[in-house]
A and B are shown apart, each in its own frame.
Chain A
Amino acid sequence: MKDTQPFDHRPDPELGAALRAALEPKDDQKAFVARVMAQYERALDRSTVPTLDVLASWFRPGIAAAVAALIVGFLFGRTVLTPAPASIEAAMAPLEGPGLAALVTAQDPPDASVVFASLVDQR
C-alpha cells in the first residue's frame, strides 16, 4: 500500500479495489437492470393515459352534476331571491276606518293618540 499523503490527487488502487469488493453487489446486475426497467415501463404507462379517455370517464358524472346544479340554482332563485308581490293599495288599505291611512299619509309625525287609535282600529 502506498504511503499516505495528505490531499493526494491520485486514487489509491489497492484501497479502491478493497472498497469496491466490499461494496460490490453480490447478485447479477441484469436482475437489477430488469427491475429498474420494469419500474420505468410502469411509470411510462401511468404517464401516458390518453387525455380523451380521462375526459370520457368524467363525461357522465359531469353532465349529471351540471344538471343538478341548474335545478338547484333555479329553485333557489325562484324561492329565495324573488320577493312575494304586494301592492301598495293592499298595504295602505285600512281594515276599518281611516286610522292606518291617516297615519301613513300624514305630512307631520303622528301624534301618539293617532297611533294608538290606529292600533285600536285594527283590532
Chain B
Amino acid sequence: MFAEREGGAGGLGGGAGGAGAQPPTGAARMGSSEEDKGLVAKSLAGDRDAFGVLVERYAQQARRVARAVLGDPDDADDAAQDGFLSALVKLAQYDTRRPFGPWLMRIVANAATDRRRRRNVRQAEPLDPALVGGGPRPDAVAIRNELGARLQTALGELSERRRMAVVLFDVEGYSHAEIAGILGIPEGTVRSEVFHARRRLRTLLADWKEQAR
C-alpha cells in the first residue's frame, strides 16, 4: 500500500493527453493546480459538475496509472473508478495547500494495488509468439500494437514499485519528490527505481527498433 504522504509541486499530468503527448511541466502544471483547488472546493460544496470536471481532467492519467499496476484494462478502469469515488469520500481530508494530482494518484494507486491483491490479477498477458517474430510485415497500427504489447510485458516483469515509478516519471511527468510522496518511499529510491526500469525498457525499445528496420 502506498503512503499517505504527498509530494511537492502540482501535477495535472496530461489527463486527456494522447499517445504522443508530453508530460506537462512548469507553469501549466501550477496553473492547473490552482484550478484544481477551486474545483475541489466546489465539489466539497456539492457541485457535481465541478467533480465531473476533475474526473474528466484526471481520467486518462488515473486509468494509465491503474493499468501500470494491474495490466488488465478492465480491471484498471474498475480501480480508477474506485479511486475517484474514494477520493470523493476523502475530499474533505485533502490539504488544498498541496497539489491535487499526486494526492489523487496516490489514492488511485492504492485502489489498484488493493484490487490486484484481492483478485490476484496477473500483471500482463503473455505475448503471442506469432507477434514476436516472423510472419508478414505488419502495418503501422500493428507495429504500434506489437510495441505496446512488448512494453506491457516488460512492465509486467518489473516490480510494481519500479513500474509505478517509471510510469509516473516518464509518462505522467511527476517529479522524483512527488513520486516519493505517492509511493511513500525515499526520493533516492525513486531515482534508483526509475533508472533500473528505464534501463530494462530502453533495451527492449532498442531491440524492437532493430527488428522493425
Q: A-side interface residues toward B, CB under 8 Å?
A: 1, 4, 6-9, 11-26, 29, 32-33, 35-37, 39-41, 43-44
Contact = CB atoms under 8 A, between A and B. Distances in A.
B198 A4 contact: yes
26 contacts: A6-B195, A8-B194, A8-B195, A11-B23, A11-B169, A12-B170, A12-B202, A14-B205, A15-B170, A15-B201, A15-B202, A16-B23, A16-B173, A17-B19, A19-B167, A19-B171, A19-B201, A20-B171, A22-B152, A23-B63, A23-B167, A24-B18, A36-B84, A39-B85, A40-B48, A43-B85
Which one of A1, A16, A41, A43 has the greatest number of beta carbons of chain B within 10 Å?
A16
B55 interface: yes
B113 interface: no
Interface residues of B, number: 51
B22 interface: yes
- For the complex, would chain B's binding face be called helix, strand, loop or mixed by DSSP majority? helix
Which one of B16, B68, B198 has the greatest number of beta carbons of chain A within 10 Å?
B198
A1 B55 CA distance: 34
B191 interface: yes
A15 B16 CA distance: 19
B88 A22 contact: no
B73 interface: yes
Contacts of A26: 73
4 nearest A-B pairs in the assembled complex, by CB-CB distance: A16-B170, A22-B148, A22-B151, A21-B19
A20 B195 contact: no
Contacts of B21: 17, 20
Contacts of A43: 85, 88
Contacts of A37: 48, 51-52, 55
